[in-house]
Amino acid sequence: MESSSDACGKDDSAGAKLQESRVLTEEEWLQKWETKNIGFHNEQGHPLADMGHQVIGVEISESALKEFFTEQKLSFSEEAIPGITGKLLKSTTGNISLYCCNIFDFTSAITGKFDAIWDRGSLVAVNPCDRERYSQLILSLMGSRCHCLLVTCLYDPSKHKGPPFYVPDSEVKHLFGKSCDITCLEKVDGLLERPKKWGLDYFWEVLYMLVLK
């Protein structure tokens, strides 16, 4: 593990151009869940709700959300989301609300703004052509004292087409730097079995904290 307060490691913005036109459709993501092609999935989950927080998530795959409740042995109810296509799956304990919808249909009008945002596997999964729209959405969801933790990854983009997409430090600054103070908290060696299978010889997971200026 490495730490630094500004730039976090090797940065190749020219390399990012290699993935610029890559697009995954909604159907392709749904297919990944249907066929269990979900190497990114962490069955343990992150213990946010267990720490007393009210947790809200957004995911396009209904089966992914239902599996989550089954894995965590939580019962849930379903309701429509006023004004958009999709549904809300809510734990009966009331502290976990998972919106099954396209993230680009999600707005602060639905839930209000957030005190904290945990972006793991989201920016790196968004099609590169949609990143501006995505960062604007995240900024619009941040309350004035919100802390947003963002995980990106660095690898040789000539060796893997993504997702996860290669998001260099310069891109994080481009997307969020005007509105946010950005701190790079850590850079972790993530060269495990999966990235090795893709033919990569390095894979860094980089954790940033974003706060509104």
Residues that bind ligand SAM (CB under 6 A): 26, 29, 40-42, 58-61, 64, 102-103, 120-122, 125
9 or 121: whose CB is closer to ligand SAM? Answer: 121
Q: Is there a contact between 98 and 88 (Cβ–Cβ < 8 Å)?
A: yes
Least gap, CB of 211 to ligand SAM (angstroms)? 21
Least gap, CB of 6 to ligand SAM (angstroms)? 26
Q: Is there a contact between 160 and 200 (Cβ–Cβ < 8 Å)?
A: yes
| 144: Cα separation from own chain's centroid | 21
Q: Is there a contact between 124 and 168 (Cβ–Cβ < 8 Å)?
A: no
Q: What is the DSSP letter of 35?
A: T
- Max alpha carbon distance in the chain (Å)? 48
Residue nearest ligand SAM (C-beta atom): 121
φ, ψ at 111 (rounded to 5°): -125, -10
Least gap, CB of 14 to ligand SAM (angstroms)? 24
Burial of 170: CB neighbours in 10 Å, binned 0-12, 13-18, 19+:
middle
27 or 79: whose CB is closer to ligand SAM? Answer: 27
153 or 184: whose CB is closer to ligand SAM? Answer: 153
22 or 41: whose CB is closer to ligand SAM? Answer: 41
Contacts of 181 (CB under 8 A, 6+ apart): 210, 211, 212, 213
Least gap, CB of 96 to ligand SAM (angstroms)? 14
Query: Nearest CA to 163 among 133, 140, 130?
Result: 130
36 or 178: whose CB is closer to ligand SAM? Answer: 36
1 or 23: whose CB is closer to ligand SAM? Answer: 23
Least gap, CB of 176 to ligand SAM (angstroms)? 18
Phi/psi-derived region of residue 16, left when phi > 0, alpha when psi is between -120 and 50, beta in every other case: alpha
Least gap, CB of 64 to ligand SAM (angstroms)? 5
